[in-house]
Structures are given as C-alpha cells and as structure tokens.
C-alpha cells in the first residue's frame, strides 16, 4: 500500500455503495471486491482473499483517520495532540505520567515525544514537574486548560466514533470488536 498523503475532509459516516455504480462491482460489493475479481481473472492460481481483509482494514483506517481529524479540527487539536492529552487524562488524577510512560503508551520515539511535550507546554496544555518518586525524573501533567480542552475533545471524538459505526448493528459491532481484538493480540503478543 502507498504511504498516507495529506488527509482531506471526510464526512462522519461512510457512504453506502450502490450496486452497479463505479464504486461497486456488479451485485453491490465494494472497490476491494473489484480488485479481488481482477486478481481472480488475472491470477486464478492465487488465493487473494487475504488481500480483501487487509485492503479493507487499510482503506477503513484511511477513512477513519480523515474523519477523526475532521471532527477534532474545531476543538483546536490534531490527532497527535489529542493522543498525548487523552493518554494523560485517562491515567487518572493527578493526570501526570513520566515521559517514558507516555512513549510506551503512544509507541513513539523519545525525540518525537520531547518535541510534542515542548509544543503542548508552549500551548499551556501540559507542564513539566519534578517526579516525587525519582529525583532525576520529570512528570508531564495536564494543566487545567489542557484538561478542559481534552474533556471537550473527547466528547466530540466519541460522538464521531459512534457516527462512524452507525452502519453496524450492536451485534455486528461486538463481533467486529472481538475479531479485531483476537487478530491484534497475535501481533502484540509477539511484540512483548
């Protein structure tokens, strides 16, 4: 797959493909179905079914990334700012973590984390404070304006995610969550 380009605005809900449209193969599938049909025609010796799953996950990630960025824009936060502030907020009082804990949670490099903390500190959303458990260490903590901003952004974000999943029933959401969890655990167990 190609690298992600600059996101463009996206609606909060995914459009439904129409049978016979340019976006769907005959019978009402999706674009990935068309790709699979082409591979079946060109390389009938290959079982390309995994391409359907991976391709859909990749395409959904692109669509949801755009929708999340679009929903967060009015809050004044981008996705990485949201991620850092949300990680601090969900840690519970006093809403503070060491830079190392943030790095582990966000899966980014220490240099990237330093730049992000610097940016958020200049914006008045976090502050560095001495770590009472480690005289040589620091804690990154939410300021009151940071907590206010993330609490509002979180409400916007969760409402947007509900809209993104409107096309699935409660049972389908539960099933999808279970399947994705099982698949993800296979990758994350290998990383530990």
Q: What is the 3-state secondary structure (H, E, C) of the chain?
A: CCCCCCCCCCCCCCCCCCCCCCCCCCCCCCHHHHHHHHHHHHCCCCCCHHHHHHHHHHHHHHHHHHHHHHHHHHHCCCHHHHHHHHHHHHCCCCCEECHHHHHHHHCCCHHHHHHHHHHHHHCCCEEEEEECCEEEEEEEEECHHHHHHHHHHHHHHHHHHHHHCCCCCHHHHHHHHHHHHHHHHHHHHHHC
Same domain, 84 and 111: yes
Same domain, 84 and 143: yes
Residue 7 lies inside a defined structural domain of this protein: no
Same domain, 65 and 98: no
Same domain, 91 and 129: yes
Beta strand pairing call for 126-131 and 96-97: unpaired
pLDDT higher than threshold 80 for residue 8? no
Q: Are 1 and 51 in contact (CB under 8 A)?
A: no
pLDDT digits (tens, 9 = 90+) for 90-147: 999 999 999 999 999 998 999 999 999 999 999 999 999 999 888 889 999 999 999 9
| Reported confidence tier of residue 17, pLDDT bands at 50, 70, 90 | very low
pLDDT for position 107: 87
Residue owning tokens 């359907």: 52
Same domain, 95 and 146: yes
For residue 86, what is the domain's CATH number? 1.10.10.10
Range of the domain at 147: 79-151
What is the CA angle 183-188-192, rounded to 5? 155
Q: What is the tally of structural domains in the chain?
A: 2
Residue 170 lies inside a defined structural domain of this protein: yes
Single pTM value for the model: 0.79
Residue 126 lies inside a defined structural domain of this protein: yes
Same domain, 159 and 122: no
Residue 85 lies inside a defined structural domain of this protein: yes
């Amino acid at each position: 797959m190609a690298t992600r380009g600059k996101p463009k605005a996206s609606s909060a809900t995914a459009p439904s493909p129409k049978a016979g449209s340019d976006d769907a193969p005959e019978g009402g599938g999706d674009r990935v179905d068309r790709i699979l049909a082409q591979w079946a025609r060109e390389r009938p010796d290959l079982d390309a079914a995994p391409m359907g799953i991976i391709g859909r996950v990749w395409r959904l990630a692109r669509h949801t990334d755009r929708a999340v960025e679009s929903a967060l824009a009015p809050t004044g936060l981008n996705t990485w700012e949201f991620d850092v502030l949300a990680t601090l907020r969900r840690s519970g009082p006093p809403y503070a973590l060491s830079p190392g804990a943030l790095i582990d949670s966000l899966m980014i490099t220490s240099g990237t984390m330093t730049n992000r903390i610097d940016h958020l500190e200049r914006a008045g959303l976090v502050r560095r404070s001495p770590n009472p458990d480690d005289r040589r260490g620091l804690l990154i903590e939410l300021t009151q304006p940071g907590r206010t901003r993330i609490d509002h952004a979180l409400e916007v974000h969760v409402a947007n995610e509900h809209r993104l999943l409107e096309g699935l029933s409660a049972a389908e959401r539960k099933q999808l969550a279970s399947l994705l969890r099982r698949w993800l655990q296979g990758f994350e167990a290998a990383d530990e």
